[in-house]
Structure 1
Amino acid sequence: MKYVIGVDLGTSAVKTVLVNPQGEVVHEHSEAYPLSRPEPGWSEQNPEDWVDKTLVSLRRLMEKSSADPQEVEGLSFSGQMHGLVLVDAEGKVLRPAILWNDTRTTAQCRKIENTLESKLLSIAKNRALEGFTLPKILWVQENEPDILSQASLFLLPKDYVRYRLSGEYAMDYSDAAGTLLLDVSGKTWSQDIAAAFDLPLSLCPPLVESFDQTGTLLPDIAEASGLLPSTKVFAGGADNACGAIGAGILQEGQTMCSIGTSGVVLSFESRKELEVDGKLHFFNHSEKDAYYVMGVTLAAGHSLTWFKETFAKEKSFDELLEGIGSIPAGSSGLLFTPYISGERTPHPDADIRGSFIGMDSGHTLSHFARAVLEGITFSLRESIDIVRESGKEIHEVVAIGGGARNETWLQMQADIFNATIIKLESEQGPAMGAAMLAAYGCGWFPSLTDCAKAFIRPAKTYAPNAERAELYSGLFSLYQEVYSQTRELNRKLVPYRN
């Protein structure tokens, strides 16, 4: 038997999966690491924690699976996007990584927009948002100039881990597209953008395709992980690009909805000059010369986790959601907006905060739990509608992540999106996408599409209920009003937050 490994470097944990040529996950293992919030709105991690826990996860994966290391042909990566890792000429990390969900960079975003104006969308294809990498680099430039002066390269999270495992620097196009420094259509680092902020292009690592080999394992790394030095290492991709591969989103007309800490609606795009006016993200896909449009809800699964930990800490998620099926669609007039960490699509607003609207004494914990799920799904519906407005028809959506684990929530997505929801037989998300990149890189299949046909199998579909879809359409219109009605109130509350 031969195998490949997918490594998914998430925000809270690293997950490794061992996959055979039939696309079966033989074994998987996860290792958690801490998140630091030293100031309000800040979100940082120690890159060495990623490396240490990746090695632990790989070693335990090999031990528990009893796989022969000689049979593991290669591994590849999926990684949390946008996070800034600065390294010096010796590859030493200069400061904690600033993560995708860090919101300290509002001033830098306005600086980028005012400096570049229309060039930003024409080159980088995306608006300047706090989560992206360039604003983080500018924050370090302004607040920690000594650190930036020592920096030889900037890397994204998975790229630093891959460097530590293989000794080679690289960044793939799908992750580079989320930095605001890439010419997305031209697939090169933008001299115009870098020069506008006095940044040398030498700060940017070499660009590669997601399925390109970037070395083999270093001898000490191979020993620590239970693998061989001959194990091939492939570049990998951004978590959303890998999630799309793992869901089979590799052709025009295919769309997925991924609900994890954040929530993503992603649709395959072959046109490199699609005009979405910054309403959606437009990134390079891990499939060669392809793209995807994407909308993001910052606090999707995080909203549910927050709700459980705050109001039902003693319950498991299954126990919390057990009663939502008996609550009518619309939660008896209770609406939730999932803006607890600010919002991204369609409202790039770091100041907005969440709300429950319509509470009364008849609402129970189950009403609130259902309202949270409906609010998350309404937020994702906003992205679905923008994709539809770009000229795409969406009749089917592949569901992955936490939102694919509860049948009531899957049916809710079908009703709110007014589209058939497809649940996969084995849903491993970005980790599977990373494994597929390794399988393709190792030559197992002539294309990623052929790999997807072998690896990905639908398990169940959920068709929209016409009556509930109409009810939700009316509620969705009310949901959309909440942002404009509460935006100014939230701005006035900013000085009172601590």
Structure 2
Amino acid sequence: MKYVIGIDIGTSAVKSVLVSVEGKVVCEHAESYPLHRPNPGWSEQNPEDWADRTIESLRRLMEKSKADPADVEGISFSGQMHGLVLVDAAGTALRPAILWNDTRTTPQCCKIEQMLGSKLLDIARNQALEGFTLPKILWVQEHEPDILSQASLFLLPKDYVRYRLTGDFAMDYSDAAGTLLLDVAGKEWSADIAQAFDLPLSLCPKLVESSGQTGTLLPAVAEAAGLLPSTKVFAGGADNACGAIGAGILSEGQTMCSIGTSGVVLSYESRKDVNPQGKMHFFNHGEENAFYVMGVTLAAGHSLSWFKDTFAKESTFESLLEGIEEVPAGSGGLLFTPYISGERTPHPDADIRGSFIGMDSGHTSKHFARAVLEGITFSLRESIDIIRESGKNITEVTAIGGGAQNETWLQMQADIFNANIVKLESEQGPAMGAAILAAYGCGWFPSLEACAKQFIRPFQTYAPDPDRVKQYDGLFSIYQDVYGQTRELNQRLAAYRK
């Protein structure tokens, strides 16, 4: 039996999946690592934690599965986007990684917008937001110049892990697109952007396709992981690009909704001349010469986790959501906006905060729980609508992540999006996308799409209910008014946040 391994370097844990040539997930294993917040708004991790836990995850995966190491032909990666890892000439990380959800870089984002103007959207196709990599480099340039002077390269999280496993430095196009340093359509590092901030292009690693081979395992790593040094290692991609591959989003018009800590609506795009003018993200796909447009809700699953931890800490998610199907659509006039960490799409606003609107004494915990789910889904619909306004006809959406685990929430997505929602038979998200990249890289299939057809199978479809669609349309228009009505209030409240 032949196998490949997909590795997803997440924000809280690394997950490895062993997948057979038939597309069956034979075994999986996850290893967690800490997140550090040394100052308000900061979010950092130790890159060595990613590497050590990845090797441990591979070792445990091989032990649990009892697979013959000689049968594992390839490994590939998915990784959390944007995180800055600076390494010296010896490949040693010079400081903790600054992560995607770190918000310290607002002044640097303003500087980028002022220096580049419309050129930023023309080249990088994205606005300067705190999550992206270039603002983090500029923060280090301003606050830790000695560190930047020692840096030989900048890497992203999965690229550092892959370097530690292979000794090879590289970055794929889908992850590079989230740095603000890539000419997205031209598929090359932008000398114009780098020069504007006195950054040498030599700081940027070589660029490769997501399915490109970037070496084999170092002998010591192979021994520690229970694999062979001859195991092929492929570049991999950004977590959202790999999530798209793992959901089969590989042709025009296909769309997915992924709800994890953040929430993502992503739609395949074959045209490289698309410029959403900052309303949506526009990135390179993990498939060669393809792209995708994407909207992000910063606190999607995080809003539900926050609600549980704050108001029902002893409950499981299952018990928290038990009975919400009995609460009518609209939660009895209770609306929630999931802005508890700021927002990304369509409001790139680090200061906005969440709200419950319409509370009365008749509302129970089930009304609040349902309102949280509805608010998250309303936020994601804003991205769906922007994609539709660009001319795409979205009639079907593939659901992955936490939002695909609850039937009531799946039906809610169908009703709020007014589209069929498809749940997959075995949903492994970005880790499966990484496995598909490895399988294609190993030559098992003639294309990523052919591989996806073998590996991914629909399980159930949820159709929109016309009456609830109409009801949610009315509620959605009220939801859209909340941002404008509360923006100034939140700006005034910002001074009181400690």
Name the TM-score, length of structure 2 as normaliser: 1.00
- Cα shift readout 1:263-293 (whole Å, capped 9, x = no counterpart): 0000000010113111000000010000000
Aligned to 2:24: 24
RMSD: 0.5
**Equivalent residues in 2 for 1:440-455, closer than 5 Å:** 440-455=440-455
Aligned twin of 1:100:
100
Deviates more, 1:38-47 or 1:195-204: 38-47
Structure 1 CA distance for aligned equivalents of residues 57 and 493 of structure 2: 43
| Aligned amino acid, residue 91 of structure 2 | G
Q: What secondary structure is seen at the aligned counterpart in 1 of 2:271?
A: coil
SS at match of 2:472: helix
The match for 1:338 is: 338
- Residue 197 of structure 1 corresponds to which residue in structure 2? 197
Letter in 1 for 2:181: L
Give % identity: 81
The CA distance in 1 between the partners of 2:364 and 2:45, in whole Å, is: 38
Deviation at 1:349, TM superposition (A): 0.5
Deviations 1:391-437 (A, max 9, x none): 10100000000000000000000000000000001100000000000
Aligned to 1:224: 224
| Aligned pairs for 1:69-468 within 5 A | 69-468=69-468
CA distance in 2, matches of 1:150, 1:407: 52
SS across alignment from 1:139: helix
Whichever residue aligns with residue 110 of structure 2, its letter is R
Structure 2 unpaired stretches of 5+ = none
**Shift of the alpha carbon at 1:38?**
1.0
Do the aligned residues in 1 keep the contact of 2:342 with 2:353 (CA within 8 Å)?
A: yes
State the distance in 2 between where 1:144 and 1:494 align.
27
In the alignment, the residues of structure 1 paired with residue 486 and residue 96 of structure 2 have an alpha-carbon distance, to the nearest angstrom, of 35
1:373 is paired with a residue whose SS is helix
Query: Within 5 Å, which residues of 2 pair with 1:45-64?
Result: 45-64=45-64
Name the SS for the 2:387 alignment partner.
helix
Q: Which residue of 2 aligns with 1:38?
A: 38
Partner Cα distance (2:495, 2:89) in 1: 41
Amino acid in the other structure paired with 2:432: M
Q: Deviations over 1:215-241 (max 9, x none)?
A: 000011001111110000000000000
Q: Distance in 2 between matches of 1:450 and 1:327?
A: 42
Amino acid corresponding to residue 368 of structure 1 in structure 2: F
Q: Which runs of 4+ in 1 moved over 4 A?
A: none
Cα distance between partner residues in 2 of 1:240 and 1:435: 14
Give the counterpart letter for 2:438 in structure 1: A
The residue matched to 1:100 in structure 2 has which SS?
coil
DSSP 3-state at the match of 1:362 = coil
Give the Cα–Cα distance (whole angstroms) in 2 for the partners of residues 219 and 303 of structure 1: 43
- Give me the whole-angstrom Cα distance separating, in 2, the residues matched to 1:22 and 1:256: 23
Question: Alpha-carbon deviations, 1:421-460, whole Å to 9, x = none?
Answer: 0000110000000000000000000000100111111000
1:61 Cα deviation after fit: 0.3
Instruction: Give the paired residue count.
Output: 498
Cα distance in 2, alignment partners of residues 73 and 315 from structure 1 = 43
Look up the SS of the partner of 2:241 in the other structure: helix
Match of 1:309, as an amino acid? D
Distance 2:33 2:479 in 1: 36
1:406 maps to amino acid: N
SS at 2:314 equivalent = coil
**Residues of 2 paired with 1:185 and 1:191: CA distance?**
14
Q: Letter of the 1:259 partner, please give it.
A: I
1:329-379 CA distances to partner (integer Å, 9 max, x unpaired)?
A: 000011000011110000000111111111111111111110000000000
State the 1:492 CA deviation. 1.1
Please state how far the C-alpha of 1:71 moved relative to its aligned partner: 0.3
Aligned equivalent of 1:478: 478
**What per-residue deviation string (whole Å, max 9, x for no partner) do you get for residues 114-165 of structure 1?**
0000100000000000000000000110111111111110000000000000
Q: Aligned-pair distance for 1:323?
A: 1.4
Return 5+ residue gaps in structure 1 as ranges: none
- Residue identity in the other structure for 1:306: W
Distance apart, 1:493 and its partner CA: 1.4
Q: Is the 8 A contact 2:275 2:282 kept in 1?
A: no
Shift of 1:39: 1.1
* Contact 2:121-2:275 at 8 Å conserved across structures: no
In the alignment, the residues of structure 2 paired with residue 55 and residue 359 of structure 1 have an alpha-carbon distance, to the nearest angstrom, of 49
- Confirm or deny: 8 A CA contact 2:259 2:301 kept in the other structure: yes
CA distance in 1, matches of 2:224, 2:316: 35
Retained in 1: the 8 A contact 2:122–2:275? no
Aligned-partner Cα distance in 2 for 1:219–1:494: 53
Output the CA distance in 1 between the equivalents of 2:479 and 2:66. 51
When structure 1 is superposed on structure 2, of 427-436 and 37-46 the one drifting more is: 37-46
Amino acid paired to 1:382: E
**What is the SS of the residue equivalent to 2:38?**
coil
Counterparts of 2:275 and 2:59, CA distance in 1:
46
Q: Matches of 2:497 and 2:87 in 1, distance apart?
A: 34
Which whole-Å CA distance do the structure 1 matches of 2:104 and 2:472 have between them?
A: 35
Kept in 1: contact 2:283–2:292 (CA 8 A): yes
- Structure 1 distance, partners of 2:41, 2:245, is 32
Give how far 1:496 is off: 1.2
Secondary structure of 1:416's counterpart equals helix
